[in-house]
Amino acid sequence: MGLIKDIKEEIKVIRQRDPAIHSDMEVFLYPSFRVMLYYRRAHRMYLKKHYFLARWISQRAVRRTGIEIHPGAQIGKGFFIDHGQGVTIGETTVIGDNVTLYQGVTLGGTGKEQGKRHPTVGNNVMISTGAKVLGSFKIGDNSKIGAGSVVLEEVPPNSTVVGVPGRVVKRSDRALPQEELDQINLPDPVREDITGLQRANAELTNRLLDLEREVKQLRAGKE
């Protein structure tokens, strides 16, 4: 009954998150569905310390789906990978409930740590296309990681992170509902910085013009 329960749960999650799926049968072709079935089998083998068999199952999943989930990773309920080609999840990664990943996301290590080497991702987190989260720290609940971001340090709950390296550009005390976790309405810190520099430059230019006028007036007064 465990396999049937897993299948029903995966169908439910995918149909809730992806409007492009029009029937339960389509779900069986979906990479996220297939890789999670492989992962659950591999994870059970890993917990029993059948490490070679666990990795063998995991590598079959990589070849068939393009998604690599280490069998040692811990994944909660409601996990969803949308267009998952290139997604990589490391051995000591811990993922909470209702987490969404997009194409090309990496939950990896920096190559310098021992023991817990990979991120811990809280509940209701969205990590957008191409984002890299590297190291042993936590992404807080209800947070969003913008597309292409490189996150190297802990993210507080209810935060939005963008940029390389990633930095928090928005934080709120209220929890973000799942339907608000989109990849579009994210702040652009680079544009904000450029706008700030342009404003400062305009203020300096105006100040210099004022000083030039004052100098001319003083010279004219002396003459």
Q: What is the DSSP letter of 139?
A: E
Q: Read off φ and ψ for residue 151, nearest 5 degrees.
A: -100, 125
- Non-local (6+) Cβ contacts of 142 within 8 A are 122, 123, 124, 125, 157, 158, 175, 176
pLDDT for the residue 84: 78
Query: Which tokens go with 48?
Result: 């029993």
pLDDT along the chain (223 residues), means of 10: 70 73 77 87 94 94 91 91 87 92 90 84 92 92 90 90 82 51 58 80 88 82 69
Q: Read off φ and ψ for residue 164, nearest 5 degrees.
A: -130, 110
What is the secondary structure of 155-174 as a DSSP string? B-TTEEEETTTTEEEEE-SS
The count of other CB atoms within 10 Å of the CB of residue 211 is 10
Pairing of strands 150-151, 138-139: unpaired
pLDDT for the residue 223: 65
Pairing of strands 159-162, 167-171: antiparallel
